[in-house]
Amino acid sequence: MQAALRNNQRPRNAPLMPLLVCTLLRMLARLRHARGGVGVALVCLMAPLAVSSNAQTASPLVLTQGGPQLDAWDAITLKADSTYQLSAQDMLNRLDDFQAPAQRNRSLGVQKAAMWLHIPIIAHEKLRTPWIVDIGYSSLQAEIYLASGGKVLQQVHSRQPGEMQIASRTPAMAFDLQAGQPYDLLIRVQATGPLILPITVGEMPHQMQQALREQMLQGLLNGLAFFLLMYSLIQWITQRERLFGFYALVVLGSAGFSLQFFGIGDQFLWPGNFWMSRYGGLVAGLTALAGSFLFLGTALSDGTQSCYALTMRVGAVVTAAVCFAVMVGGLSVQFAIAFMSLAGPLPSIFSLPAAIRRVRQKDPIGTTLLVAWTVFGVAAAVMVCLVQGWVPANFWTLHSFQFGATVDMLLFLRVMGLRANAMRQQAQEVARERDMMHYLAHSDPLTGLDNRRGLQHALRAALSSCAPNNLVAVYLMDLDGFKPINDVYGHDVGDDLLVAVAHRLQANVRRQTDLVARLGGDEFIIMASNLGTADDAEELGRSLLRAFDAHFVLSHLRLRVGLTIGYALAPLDGNEPQALIRLADAAMYAGKQSGKHSIRRNSGGLALSL
């Protein structure tokens, strides 16, 4: 009281004190004739209790060197201004009307009025550094006033930067105090959304250190979002996969919402832009919602035009329409907030049956999405409780939604990886089936060698590069003595012998340049390329004849068959596949007629005689 009188500044609720004293004196005068002095004693006992109670409600926030940061809610009282017209001077004249908050949890929820907060402060000793009052939430309009003696000494408007306003992501003001003099901090706040108010008063170095920590955290989380956005865009452009484009929308919207919610956008990206400050976070949230419809609809779609896929596309279109209407001013912010609150869970709700079906199929995409929705649901629930004022506003509750969205984006990235892996496996399976069909179309089912069609492809490719010093030989051969073996021992032994013949032929040709094929029955054909001279072709044919001097051992049987070979050379004898095969066939037939187990080349004259 004495300090207040010396500075011509009444403490809060000061008019009640003389009134209370006068009332007590009147009661004392009326009861001075009471028997036994009971009335006097009663009044004397009540007086200090009343004074003590009044002093407790008026206790200011004491700034000391030993406490670098104080929670302003320890001393806050409130008053609503439903007219939005009252000034700071009006509020200084009505300090007696301010009431203590129902809960001191740093959040007032959604208010349809401008809220005034009063914080009495005092410093009993000279402060070594300026102090800062900071509202740790950026999505609101704030005015901060420092007053003493019923007069405003300095003020800051969050939408009108001035020299006393700290260049920070949240509304803040620096001030100096005179030792022993009481001051009043008045804060006027209003917002289209919730009033989350983690207000602190602290020394400038400490407050700056806290701000730098927050900036580092935001830099890490938004930097991660930036790289996820760049990765998804690059993948979308290079692979033309829609899922990456839809994921980019989710990341862009989530990151934009965080930039606006935590004030990074207003501080660095669009300072002083009223439209972005008012609509940026809302538009970003709607973008993320539309992206979620499209992303989940694509990730869980089975590739058919199902009712689920159509519903998700309709949800994305409606959300995009609302977003566009908000951007052009066709819808109010309140309507858009209500829409986003109601439609926000719909992508997950609509996708839940499809995800559960994937889980039952042991598809990890379904499990990953369920985990993502659980994490995001917990984060959203904490955010709702924070908006309604049911949980205190602190580091974890303020960042819960951002942490949940970050984990959600990373899990969605895993979903893309799983889907890409599934698509790659599907493509490999299609390629295997295609290769199998090609193999069956171009190979002999008994021996696994190329058939006539496979030979034609290989021979055509080899003939395109043949030359007089780079010959291609076509050997057509027929087994000697195969029919009697097939008749005596049966077709099973005959088939086994044909397989053994195929293996022996492959073992006696050059693996890189020669091709062994079966035309049918006991007829085989070999294409040998990269031969230097005709003598090299002749020597290769004779080595094949010698390879059949040895017996074939099939189970308990020792069987022997020979070869009769006819061949032609390209480009010396011809340059067309069918012509070369006909020349080789004529030479082989001539060899059969002249005693078998022989090799003959047909340069063209033999074919004319047949």
Phi-psi region of 149 (alpha: psi -120 to 50; beta: other; left: phi over 0): left
Helix (H, G, I), strand (E, B) or coil at 80: strand
State phi, psi for 231 to the nearest 5 degrees: -60, -45
Confidence of residue 50 (pLDDT cuts 50, 70, 90): very low
Helix (H, G, I), strand (E, B) or coil at 223: helix
Strands, E assignment, 427-575:
471-480, 514-520, 523-531, 552-554, 557-559, 562-570
206 touches 68 (CB < 8 A): yes
Q: Which of 297, 173, 321, 186 is nearest to 246 (CA)?
A: 297
Cα separation values, 20 from 8, 23, 30, 57, 96, Å: 21, 5, 16, 15, 15
Q: Does 141 score more than 50 pLDDT?
A: yes
d(CA 271, CA 169): 10
d(CA 74, CA 121): 11
C-alpha of 15 from chain center: 60
d(CA 537, CA 570): 11
pTM of this prediction exceeds 0.85: no
Cβ neighbour number for residue 53 with a 10 Å cutoff = 11
Give me the pLDDT at residue 414, please: 94
The amino acid that residue 349 corresponds to is I
DSSP class of 172: E
pLDDT tens, position by position, 289-309: 999 999 999 999 876 668 999
pLDDT greater at residue 52 or residue 573: 573
Q: Does 421 score more than 50 pLDDT?
A: yes
pLDDT greater at residue 603 or residue 23: 603
Candidate from 44-48, 70-74, 122-126, 300-304 with smallest mean pLDDT: 44-48
Residue 172 CB partners (closer than 8 Å, separation 6+)? 132, 133, 134, 135, 144, 156, 165, 166, 207
Q: What is the mean pLDDT of residues 548-571?
A: 92
Helix (H, G, I), strand (E, B) or coil at 262: coil
State phi, psi for 412 to the nearest 5 degrees: -65, -35
C-alpha of 164 from chain center: 40
pLDDT tens, position by position, 209-256: 988 999 999 999 999 999 999 999 999 999 888 999 999 999 999 999
Give me the pLDDT at residue 153, please: 95
Where does residue 215 rank: exposed (0-12), middle (13-18), buried (19+ CB within 10 A)? middle
Token output for 354: 């499809």
249 touches 285 (CB < 8 A): no
Cβ neighbour number for residue 55 with a 10 Å cutoff = 13
> What spatial distance separates the first Cα and last Cα of the chain, rounded to whole Å?
135
pLDDT tens, position by position, 364-408: 999 999 999 999 999 989 988 888 778 888 899 999 989 999 999
Q: Does 30 score more than 70 pLDDT?
A: no
Strands, E assignment, 432-581:
471-480, 514-520, 523-531, 552-554, 557-559, 562-570
State phi, psi for 568 to the nearest 5 degrees: -140, 155
pLDDT tens, position by position, 309-354: 999 999 999 999 999 999 998 998 889 988 998 999 999 999 999 9
DSSP class of 144: E
Cβ neighbour number for residue 510 with a 10 Å cutoff = 12
CATH number of 452-608: 3.30.70.270
Token output for 506: 């492959």
Q: Does 1 score more than 70 pLDDT?
A: no
d(CA 328, CA 65): 51
222 touches 216 (CB < 8 A): no
Return the CATH fold of 61-204.
Immunoglobulin-like (2.60.40)
Q: Does 143 score more than 70 pLDDT?
A: yes
| CA atoms within a 13 Å half-sphere pointing along the CA-CB vector of 552 | 24
Q: What is the mean pLDDT of residues 164-190?
A: 87
Q: What is the mean pLDDT of residues 415-428?
A: 87
Q: Which of 240, 346, 253, 363 is nearest to 301 (CA)?
A: 363
Give me the pLDDT at residue 506, please: 94
Instruction: Identify any residues that bridge with 240 across adjacent strands, giving them in sequence order.
Output: none
Give me the pLDDT at residue 607, please: 53
Confidence of residue 59 (pLDDT cuts 50, 70, 90): confident
pLDDT tens, position by position, 75-93: 999 999 999 999 999 999 9
Helix (H, G, I), strand (E, B) or coil at 115: strand
The amino acid that residue 276 corresponds to is M
C-alpha of 411 from chain center: 6
Candidate from 166-175, 320-329, 524-533 with smallest mean pLDDT: 166-175
Q: Does 596 score more than 60 pLDDT?
A: yes
Percent of the chain with pLDDT over 70: 88
The chain-wide mean pLDDT, for the chain, equals: 85
State phi, psi for 232 to the nearest 5 degrees: -65, -40
Give me the pLDDT at residue 383, please: 87
Give residue limits of the domains in the chain: 2-57, 61-204, 241-427, 452-608
